[in-house]
Every structure is written in structure tokens, then in C-alpha cells.
């Protein structure tokens, strides 16, 4: 399998962390891809022009990160995403919650770093910040109830919080969220997360 990736994408991190958890990382051939390059060939594999994109050995392309993670998990027999029952929907909902934090944070990152200053909108940025804050408050309420065994939802939570630490330390997400902080402090030491901690390329 070939994974089109960029080194700082939190969605890519999610996929690679899950691959580590499942013992599949060595089966991924990593293909560095700049999704922002206007002449990138990425759209030939993924018309949405986004990483992560997983290319299967039969030529099929899978996107986006929830689909890729579910695929990898199915390969090894549903270890991080329960096959059915209420637990499945809870895990998927938690994944969507943390993905939503990432979606809003990425929009802020784009606004601040890729958009001309004259075009930036404080109103738009505030909408995204409010989304992040609301989602984090819900995550705070969920953190104490997490199972000891990791699942896809928890791993996505960790990638979202890691991304906030990486790009938005000034948001101080730990402030007023002691349960989430406590949970993350332990959970972030998992080898899969240590191996994928985001860093700017040197």
C-alpha cells in the first residue's frame, strides 16, 4: 500500500498512528506529496486534492482519513473500531468530533498562513475558534469515561490535541479541562503517538 502524505498533516498522523497501533506501518510505502502544489498529480488519485490518500495494491485509491483508518482496522479484524453495536457509533462520533477540531484548526491555520492579509477575516477565525472551544469542552466531558484499551476515537482525540499543541499552543487547551489533560498526559506516551509526533521539517 502507498500512502500519499505530508509530514505535518494531522490527518496523516492519524493514519500513521493507527497503522503503528495495528502493526501495519511497515506495509505502508510513504510517498511525500505537497497537496498545495498547483501542479501536483495528487488529484489524479484523489480529486479532492488532499492527503492522506491511500493507494491499494490493486490501484484503488482510498480517502479520506476516516475511510483509510476503517480500512486498515478491517484488515486486522476490527481492533480499534468495533464492528457493530452502540460502541461503533460512539467511536465514530468521537472520531468525527476530533476531526471537527482539526477541520476548524486547519481553517484557522490556512487563514493565518496561506491567505493574503487583506483577505483575512477575524469573524471567520472567531467562528472556528468557537467551534474548537465547544468541541474541546465536550471532549473534556468524555475523557474520564474512556476505556483503558485505545480505540479510533481516542487516537483521533490525541492527534487533535497534539495538533493544537503543535500549531496553536497559545490556545492553552488544557486550561479548565483537567480530565482531558490528565487523560492526554498518559495516552500521548503510546509508542504510536510518540513515533508520529508532529514536527516542522528541518
Ligand X SMILES: N[C@@H](CCC(=O)N[C@@H](CS)C(=O)NCC(=O)O)C(=O)O
Assign 125 to helix, strand or coil: helix
Query: With CB under 6 A, what is the number of residues at the site for ligand X?
Result: 13
- Which lies closer to ligand X via its Cβ, residue 160 or residue 177? 160
- Which lies closer to ligand X via its Cβ, residue 36 or residue 89? 36
Residue 82 binds to ligand X (criterion: CB under 6 A): no
CB of 46 to ligand X, least distance (A): 9
CB of 117 to ligand X, least distance (A): 20
Binding residue for ligand X, selected from 9, 16, 154, 196, defined by CB under 6 A:
9
Q: How far is CA 120 from CA 36, 81, 124, 163, 168, in A?
A: 19, 39, 8, 22, 18
Give the residue from 178, 177, 180, 200 showing the smallest Cα distance to 188: 180
Tell me the residue nearest to ligand X as measured from the CB. 64
Assign 2 to helix, strand or coil: strand
Assign 29 to helix, strand or coil: strand
Give the residue from 176, 201, 173 showing the smallest Cα distance to 188: 173
- Which lies closer to ligand X via its Cβ, residue 22 or residue 68? 68
83 to 102, contacts with ligand X by CB under 6 A? 99
142 to 201, contacts with ligand X by CB under 6 A? none
Binding residue for ligand X, selected from 106, 107, 133, 188, defined by CB under 6 A:
106
Assign 174 to helix, strand or coil: coil
Strands 29-32 and 2-5: what pairing? parallel
Residue 49 binds to ligand X (criterion: CB under 6 A): yes
Binding residues (CB under 6 A) for ligand X: these are 6, 9, 11, 35-36, 49-52, 64-65, 99, 106
Amino acid at each position: 500500500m502507498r500512502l500519499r502524505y505530508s509530514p505535518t498533516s494531522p490527518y496523516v498522523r492519524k493514519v500513521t498512528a493507527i497503522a503503528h497501533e495495528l502493526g501495519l506501518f511497515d506495509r505502508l510505502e510513504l510517498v511525500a506529496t505537497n497537496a498545495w502544489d498547483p501542479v501536483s498529480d495528487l488529484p489524479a488519485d484523489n480529486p479532492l486534492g488532499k492527503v492522506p490518500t491511500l493507494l491499494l495494491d490493486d490501484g484503488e485509491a482510498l480517502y479520506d482519513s476516516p475511510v483509510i483508518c476503517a480500512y486498515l482496522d478491517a484488515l486486522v479484524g476490527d481492533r480499534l473500531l468495533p464492528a457493530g453495536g452502540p460502541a461503533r457509533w460512539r467511536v465514530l462520533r468521537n472520531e468525527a468530533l476530533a476531526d471537527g477540531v482539526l477541520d476548524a484548526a486547519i481553517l484557522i491555520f490556512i487563514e493565518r498562513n496561506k491567505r493574503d492579509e487583506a483577505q483575512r477575516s477575524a469573524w471567520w477565525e472567531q467562528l472556528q475558534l468557537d467551534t474548537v472551544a465547544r468541541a474541546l469542552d465536550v471532549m473534556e466531558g468524555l475523557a474520564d469515561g474512556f476505556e483503558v484499551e485505545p480505540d479510533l476515537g481516542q487516537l483521533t482525540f490525541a492527534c487533535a490535541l497534539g495538533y493544537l499543541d503543535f500549531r496553536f499552543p497559545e490556545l492553552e487547551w488544557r486550561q479548565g479541562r483537567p480530565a482531558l489533560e490528565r487523560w492526554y498526559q498518559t495516552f500521548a506516551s503510546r509508542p504510536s503517538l510518540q513515533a508520529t509526533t508532529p514536527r516542522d521539517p528541518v
